Every structure is written in structure tokens, then in C-alpha cells.
Amino acid sequence: MASIEELRIARFTKITKLKEAGMDPYPPSVKRDYSIKYVKALFEDLAPQSEDKNISIAGRVIVVRGQGSILFIVLQDGNERFQAVLKKDSLEEKLFNLFVDTVDSGDFISVTGSLFITQRGEQSILIKDWQMATKALLPLPDKWHGLQDIEEIYRKRYLDVLMDQETYNRFVIRSQVIKYIREFLDNKNFLEVETPILQNEAGGAMAKVFETHHNDYDMPMVLRIALELEHKMLMVGGYERVYEIGKTFRNEGSDPTHLQEFTMLEWYAAYQTLETNMEWTEELIKSIAKDLMGKTVFKVYDNDGNGVDVDVAVAWERITFGELLKRDAGIDIETITEEDARAQAIKWGVKEDEAKKLGRGNLLDKIYKKCSRRKIINPTFITDFPGDLKPLAQQNSNGTARVCQLIIAGAEITNQYAELVNPVIQRELLVSQGKAKENGDEEAMGVNEGFITAMEHGMPPMTGFGMGIDRLVAIFTEQKNLRDVIFFPIMKPKENIQESKETMVAVAVLNTGISLLPWQELNTIAHLNAAFGARVGKNLFSQDTIESKDNHKIKLNIKNAIMIKKVDSSDKLKVLALEAKGKELEVDEFTREMIETTNDKKVVSITLSKDFKDIEYLGVLIYGPKNIVDNLTSELEMY
């Protein structure tokens, strides 16, 4: 079986054949009268017309079947597929042969012809003419199995949605859910707004931030962890109902139900209560289930991949945070001290070092997540969390806050507040949070003076809401992992520079046809290898260091072989470099100017003053799959 790189090289030769035949492999436009979806829908009307006036459609070649004088091609446009039939006696022989010689699965083509029904009853188009739209250099995954490696699925989502209809439909559902939410809120007279992602200081939630730096202003900045503060400031300006669907970032752990970058929906409504907010939440989720998904029971998965059936149509239970902890942990949240909460948290499995950094509210929250939240399956509203855990919410007289979380299958789906609008109490609560932050609680909030100032100008009474879109879509599409409802989730860089599993090799080629002193030859090879290492980087190492028996660390050599070969002229080196670049190998070059001066500006200036034919090459290094590099350098002698 040919390697990926060999298939790629073969397709390069087909580009040459297309050009020689006068066909552009990447034309600026192609003929396309109708989409495949349109043709399939109006086939009976279009078929008679196409006999007199041929029509053109375009799409990606998914399958080519047949041999000899007739071929059957499956074209895909979006997620619609259509059969095209190529007969040797239906178009010019040179066009038929060119198709056979140059078209592969994955290519985009335009075909022109007449519509007909095959003997097997399949709608088809008989090709009278065709044109390459885009020549693909890499093949598609196996049509029956698609991408199987989960890492490849996330890294190459474009192939996943192309080859897997279920995946394609899942992301259509995501878009439809977001559209439905917008229509729902628009119908309740909300105004969609946009607020900054890059902020001077984070607020609106308790979470670790991503830190960055504004170079022009020379000041530290963070990525937002919530949308809340800016939305509430807008309420000061007179807007009564606002919402936003936007990216949010929390620099915390990842698991199947948590990601550091996620899409958040937040809304705020003046003169409305927490009770109304909960009613809207239930109405929204039940409506999406009924109107969009057409069902109310969904398989919902936890972090371990265990699935439970959840019925969103049942009556949604309501219970307070205090009732849960008293029932499941024997804790009275109104009387427990911070010291006792810390001891209880350690008892429930919170690490002692972590517990020492947390304030009372966060300690109780950790206990709740371990002893209570995971038990909740059907939609349940948890209300009245500890007040010091929710410093942006109205505070009750018993030390709790007027807040609510919707829990489904042990996961938090929403956060809802009766919003605090008293600037005096707000400052006191945030000052308390600031002290917890100084004591090591990285998730605690600080005092945001801009927000407090806005509050002092007067905020209307209001209720607020926050929900992760990704988690909601995962429930509706019954996915185990949030990454499966995100087009391009964040992934760690691949360790290997090449996706191919082939052996890699580097070959440095020295020009021995000129009189170079030994130090110049060594200098040439050294510079080529330095440039090679700088460009390819740590991908060259299987590990960085090794150790001797007595624990002395030694930097490990690269895992790839490096050979030195020779040619007898600069022109041969140039040809070799150009051929290697054409195959997209790593290429490093060393010229006469580079050895004669260490001033890079002079090298640039001198090189710009010369034509390529006048530049003298002293050496070239090429790096890539062994079989390709060997083919390029097989006739060269070892140095």
C-alpha cells in the first residue's frame, strides 16, 4: 500500500497533466447552475429541460466506480450527494481520458450534462463536459470508517463532518439551538449586545483567569471569565433586558464536562424576579426539547462516561443548598465556621493544601459537589447558596444568597441570580473576597472599582442568568464529551512534526566543486544543521535528556539520522533544493554571502542585488520521510 506522501506526490504529477491539457487545477470560478439539493428537489422539472439545455452542478468527488468506457461518480455538495455518469461516447475522448488520468476522491469538479434516471432508478447526470474545480493533494479517509482516532477527529474536524453524517448533523443542531435561543429572547424583548473579551480585570464569577499583556498600553490584561459586570453596567445606562452569546475563558482543569474555552449565554432583565428567571429557564429548555429535538428524554453522560436517561418534561424539583448539605453531609450551613468547613471538606476528599487556600463559601461548595450534586439526575433547581460564595447576588438574612443553579445529571447547567444592586453591600462583599484572594484563593474575586462606580449611579432591580451553550448542546445531542459539540477544541501540539509514521532523515549536501578550506566546509555543515534544528525544533527529540548511572544528565542527540553527501557544483545544489521544496520537505540553504559575513543585513542586501543564477550555493540540507529524501539523493556520493 502506498504511503500518504507517495499518494501526495502522485497527485502533484496529475496537476502537471491537467496543466499540460490546458485545464487549470485551481480555477477562479467554475460552472454551477444549481446546488445538488436543488436538483434533487426539482429533478422532474429540470430533467426534460436539461436535454435541450445542459445544466452544470459542482461538488466533491467522494467515490469513483467502474472501469473501461463507463464510470459512476458520487458528488457531494454540502451534505447532499448525487450520481454523475461518465461515458466514453458522451464527450470528447481526450476529456474522458483526462478524467481517468487525473481525478481522485477528494477533488472538487464541475460537471455539465443532462439529467436522467438509471436502470436502477437512481437520479443521475450524464456528463457532457467537466472541469476541475480544486485538485486535492491528500486522499479522504476510508469512506466506510471515516476517522477512527479520536485525536484525529478533533484535529481534523473538517474531515469528520465530511465523512460522518451524524457529526455533520450534530453541528447543524448546535447552530439551530443557538438560533432558537436568540429567537426566544428576542420574543421576550431582549437586546443582544457584545462586551469585551480582553479585560483589565476579571469579574462576574469565581474562577482562575488566563493572563496576557497589552503591548501597546504596556499593561497586564486577562481574558474574561463571565459576561456579567458589563451587562449590569449597561442596565445602568437604561437598557432593561440584554443578552449575549460569547466566548468565555477559565484557566482551570479539563475533563469531558469542562473546558477552559467555552460559549456562554448570559441575560439580565430589569424589574424581574429570580422566580420569573427560573420559569423562563424551564420554558426555554422544554421548548427546545419539544420543538427542535422532537423528544424530551435524553441520555446524559457524566465525567466517567456513565449515561442516565433524563426526562426534561417532568416537574422540576426545587431544593435549597442548605437542605442538601444537611441531608447528605449533616452540615448546617448557617452555623458552621470556616475552620469546621475546612475539616469537613478534607473529610469529603478535598486535598489539605487546597482546602487551606479556600474561603468558607468555596469549602461548602466543594462539599456540595462531592456529596450532593452528583446524585441529582432529573432537572432540579438548587437555591440559596452561601452568601460569601455569591457576592454579586442579593443576600438573605440567614447568610445565604438569592441564587439558583439548574442541575441535570450531576452537572451545573445554569447559574441564576436575584442581582445585588446595593453598592455599599457590594463593596463589603468584594472586599471580603479580596482578602480571600490575598490568602491564596485563586478563584475569589477582587474589588472592581469601575463596576462599583457604575452601581453608585443607580442600578435597577434585576435578575440574571448564565448557561454554557456547549453543555446544553451535549445534552440535546447525547454526547459524552464537550469536545464533540465544538468544531475545533483546543488540543496539545503533536509531538511529531510529520503525521506520517515513516522514518525521517536529514541529508546535508556539500558543494565540493569549489575550493573550500576545511574550516569553511565544517562551517557550512554547522550552519545548515543549526538552521535545521532551529526551524524543526524539539520535534526532533524523543526525549530531551538521558542520565548516567550516577545521575549525571546528558542532553540526548536527535532521533533522526543525519548524513553528509556531496555534489560538484552550485547549480546541482540549486536543483536539489528546488525539487525538495516542490515536495514540501524541510530545506535549509547556505550561500557564499553567508560565510563571508556575519552581518545578516549585508547578506540580505547582497542577495537582493543578485539574480538567483548568480548566487553561489555552498550547501543544502533537506529533511523529511526517508523514502523521499533517499530518492532525491540516491545518486549523490557520501562525503
DSSP string, 266-318: EEEEET--HHHHHHHHHHHHHHIIIIIIS-SEEEEE-TT--EEEEETTSPPEE
540 pLDDT tier (thresholds 50, 70, 90): confident
Out of 112, 134, 156, pick the residue that ends a domain: 134
Shared-domain flag, residues 481 and 512: no
Give residue 252's pLDDT.
87
Q: Is residue 550 one of the residues assigned to a domain?
A: yes
Shared-domain flag, residues 51 and 102: yes
> Dihedral angle at the C-alpha atoms of 295, 301, 305, 309, nearest 10 degrees?
-60
Out of 82, 113, 134, pick the residue that ends a domain: 134
Shared-domain flag, residues 222 and 292: yes
Domain containing residue 594: 504-638
Q: Is residue 27 one of the residues assigned to a domain?
A: yes
Give residue 544's pLDDT.
67
Q: Three-state DSSP class for 563?
A: strand
Cell of 329: 453531609
Q: Is residue 437 one of the residues assigned to a domain?
A: no
Shared-domain flag, residues 629 and 510: yes
Domain count, the chain: 3
CATH of the domain at 557: 3.40.1490.10
Q: Which helix (H) or strand (E) holds 462?
A: strand 462-468
Query: pTM for the full model?
Result: 0.72
Give residue 125's pLDDT.
97
Q: Where does residue 45 fall: left (phi above 0), alpha (psi -120 to 50 degrees), or beta otherwise?
A: alpha
Out of 134, 153, 173, pick the residue that ends a domain: 134
* Per-residue pLDDT reduced to its tens digit, 447-457: 788 899 999 99
258 pLDDT tier (thresholds 50, 70, 90): confident
Alpha-carbon span 472 to 379, nearest angstrom: 12
Q: Which residues contact 429 (CB under 8 A, 6 or more apart)?
A: 387, 388, 391, 392, 395, 420
Average pLDDT on 130-145 reads: 85
Q: Is the predicted pLDDT of residue 349 greater than 70, yes or no?
A: yes
Q: Is residue 441 one of the residues assigned to a domain?
A: no
* Per-residue pLDDT reduced to its tens digit, 34-63: 999 999 999 999 999 988 899 999 999 999
Give residue 347's pLDDT.
93
Q: Is the predicted pLDDT of residue 478 greater than 50, yes or no?
A: yes
Give residue 515's pLDDT.
85
Give residue 147's pLDDT.
67
Q: Which residues contact 520 (CB under 8 A, 6 or more apart)?
A: 595, 618
CA dihedral sign of residues 347, 350, 354, 357: negative
Shared-domain flag, residues 108 and 178: no
Shared-domain flag, residues 44 and 126: yes
- On average, the pLDDT of the chain sits at 91
592 pLDDT tier (thresholds 50, 70, 90): very high
499 pLDDT tier (thresholds 50, 70, 90): very low
Average pLDDT on 256-276 reads: 94
Cell of 421: 444592586
583 pLDDT tier (thresholds 50, 70, 90): confident
Shared-domain flag, residues 127 and 193: no
Alpha-carbon span 406 to 122, nearest angstrom: 50
CATH of the domain at 19: 2.40.50.140
Average pLDDT on 208-220 reads: 93
Q: Is residue 496 one of the residues assigned to a domain?
A: no
Give residue 146's pLDDT.
58
Q: Is residue 365 one of the residues assigned to a domain?
A: no
Q: Is residue 374 one of the residues assigned to a domain?
A: no
Q: Is the predicted pLDDT of residue 352 greater than 60, yes or no?
A: yes
Alpha-carbon span 54 to 49, nearest angstrom: 8
445 pLDDT tier (thresholds 50, 70, 90): low
Shared-domain flag, residues 8 and 94: yes
Shared-domain flag, residues 465 and 572: no
Q: Is residue 228 one of the residues assigned to a domain?
A: yes
Q: Can you tell me which residue has the cell 542586501?
A: 605
Instruction: Decide if 314 contacts 289 (C-beta within 8 A).
Output: no
* Per-residue pLDDT reduced to its tens digit, 86-137: 999 999 999 999 999 999 999 999 999 999 999 999 999 999 999 999 999 9
Query: CA geometry: angle at 629 spanning 628 and 635, to 5°?
Result: 110
Shared-domain flag, residues 31 and 120: yes
Shared-domain flag, residues 305 and 169: yes
Shared-domain flag, residues 178 and 307: yes
Q: Shortest CA distance to 230 belongs to which of 257, 205, 261, 260? A: 205
